[in-house]
């Protein structure tokens, strides 16, 4: 994947803002409150570093929500 490091990374926010008390992640974008509040002051590289971990967080949530008989 190529990144345009001359511009801010796109925000992962999908306007479904609620923090899960167990994980501490937003149920919409999987960022922490700290990552959300500091997004606009992070460097582009820091923003992409956050984006890089979000799919793993989402997979963790989906895998732990599956009921195993």
Task: Summarize pLDDT for 2-59 with one digit per residue, the tens.
Answer: 666 777 899 999 999 999 888 899 999 999 999 999 999 999 999 999 999 998 998 8
Residue 51 φ/ψ, nearest 5 degrees: -60, -35
Q: pTM to 2 decimals?
A: 0.79
Per the CB < 8 A criterion, the answer to whether 48 and 12 are in contact is no
Per the CB < 8 A criterion, the answer to whether 25 and 19 are in contact is yes
**Cα–Cα distance for residue pair 26/6, rounded to 1 Å:** 27
Using the predicted structure, report yes or no on whether residue 66 has a pLDDT greater than 80.
Answer: no
2: which 2 tokens? Answer: 């190529």
């Amino acid at each position: 994947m190529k990144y345009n490091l001359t511009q801010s990374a796109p925000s992962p926010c999908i306007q479904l803002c609620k923090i899960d008390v167990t994980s501490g992640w937003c149920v919409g974008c999987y960022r922490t409150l700290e990552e959300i509040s500091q997004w606009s002051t992070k460097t582009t590289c820091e923003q992409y570093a956050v984006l890089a971990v979000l799919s793993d967080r989402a997979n963790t949530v989906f895998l732990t929500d599956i009921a195993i008989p």
